[in-house]
Chain A
Amino acid sequence: MTAPVCLDDIRPCFEGAIPAAIATVDARGMPNITHLSQVFYIDAEHVALSNQFFSKTSQNLREHPYASVEVIHPETYACYRLQLRYLRTDVDGPVFEQLRRSIDAIAALTGMQHVFRLRGADVYSVQSCRRVATAMPD
């Protein structure tokens, strides 16, 4: 297992340049995995995820409030796995507004304005963040 990584050291991972993947599980333990536009940095211990059409993810979080996310550094392509605990969903306020502006920008860049619409900013505490080992040296 690789050493813990501070979110402050990998801030470019949270700019929305590369889609991330999020896994959750339902009450019987079946995983659900989907891609999301952006993992949004709040502070060194919290992130927000864009909830656009995460119906199954949201349902799973009500049953088991833990998630796992992989993000990629857009400059180095180093990959990091974050283990998260769901705290709440913001539907207004500063985190929601910042995430909404960012999602709107990503949608414009990818031609998905008619599809991407932020429903809420899911706020999580970060339980761990570690570099995913690969064949390439650091």
Chain B
Amino acid sequence: MKLDPATATFLGTGVSLDAGIVHPSGDPITVRAWGARPNDDGTTVRVLLPTDDPDTVEHVHPGGLIALVASDVITFRSIQLKGRVVAHEPESEADEALHTAYVDAFAAAVQEADGTPESLVRRLVPAGRAAVTFTVEQAFDQTPGPGAGGRLEPGPTDGPRQRA
């Protein structure tokens, strides 16, 4: 599917990012993500996952399944994207710039939300990251409430809206 521009923009703000990946045993693994950017037509998302913990990103391979949730720490607006990994690469210079901007925005958002000093939030930042690109196959509204889980409106070139 194709992400609409507003959803794509949302990913680029200081939202909390968490990915769900799958261990070879079949069990899920939660891992915090450190920047995400859709491609120009909104059909794929490049997300930065930490390499500090070898038991997480090493299990991400092309063809594998992945989920990413993005939540505004002030409004709680949340979306979840699900898809299939198409690339797992070392972080590029552009990715490093994305990561730096993301950390700045996220730390500022958390401080605005609850007063947590930005320096404390930055203690979460991993030393190294890898860039994982996945196709967006499904997108959901994950905002807390009875509407959570409803499918998001696809982009203008996609088909009609569906419900989960």
Residues on A close to B: CB < 8 A?
Answer: 1-2, 19, 21-25, 29-35, 52-53, 55-56, 64, 66-70, 72, 76-79, 81, 83, 110, 112, 115-116, 132-136
Partner of B67, one of A23, A52, A76, A77: A23
* Complex contacts, B19 vs chain A, CB 8 Å: 31, 33
Is B52 part of the contact surface with A, judged by Cβ < 8 Å? yes
Contact mask B45-65 → A, CB, 8 Å, 1/0? Answer: 000001011110000000001
CA distance A33 to B65 in the complex (A): 12
A sample of 5 inter-chain contacts (CB < 8 A) reads A33-B20, A35-B18, A55-B149, A67-B28, A76-B120
Cβ-defined contact, A79 with B32, below 8 A: yes
Q: How many residues does chain B have at the interface if contact means C-beta atoms less than 8 Å apart?
A: 44
C-alpha spacing A117/B142, complex, angstroms: 16
Given contacts A33-B69, A55-B148, A66-B27, 7 further A-B contacts (CB under 8 A): A31-B21, A32-B80, A33-B28, A70-B30, A83-B27, A112-B76, A134-B123
Q: How far is the CB of B125 from chain A (nearest CB, A)?
A: 5
Chain B 142-158 interface 0/1 with A at a Cβ cutoff of 8 Å (1 = within)? 10111011000000000
A72 B28 Cβ-Cβ under 8 A: no
Docked pose: A31 CA to B69 CA in angstroms: 11
Shortest CB-to-CB span from B86 to chain A, Å, is 16
Check B55–A1 contact: CB distance below 8 A: yes
Closest to A79 in B: B124
A-B contacts at CB below 8 angstroms, number: 137
For B121, the chain A residues whose CB sits under 8 A away are 77
Q: A34: which B residues are within 8 A, CB to CB?
A: 69, 78, 80, 142, 148
Contact A23 B30 (CB under 8 A): yes
Residues of A within 8 A of B55 (CB): 1
> Is B90 close to A, CB under 8 A?
no
Residue of A nearest to B146 (CB): A53
Least distance between A97 CB and chain B CB atoms (Å): 22
Nearest CB on A from B10, distance (A): 15
- 1/0 per residue B14-36: CB within 8 Å of A? 00101111100011111110000
CB of B139 to closest CB in A, whole Å = 13
A29 with B125, Cβ < 8 A, contacts A35-B16, A66-B28, A112-B76 known = no
Chain A contacts for B68, CB-based, 8 A: 33
Nearest-CB residue, chain A, relative to B17: A21
Which residues of B lie under 8 Å from residue A79 when comparing CB positions?
32, 124
Q: Would you give the shortest CB distance from A67 to chain B, in whole angstroms?
A: 6
Complex partner residue of B22 from A19, A31, A132, CB under 8 angstroms = A31
- B44 contacts the other chain (CB 8 A): no
CA gap between A56 and B65 in the complex, in Å:
16
A136 to B20, CA, bound (A): 23
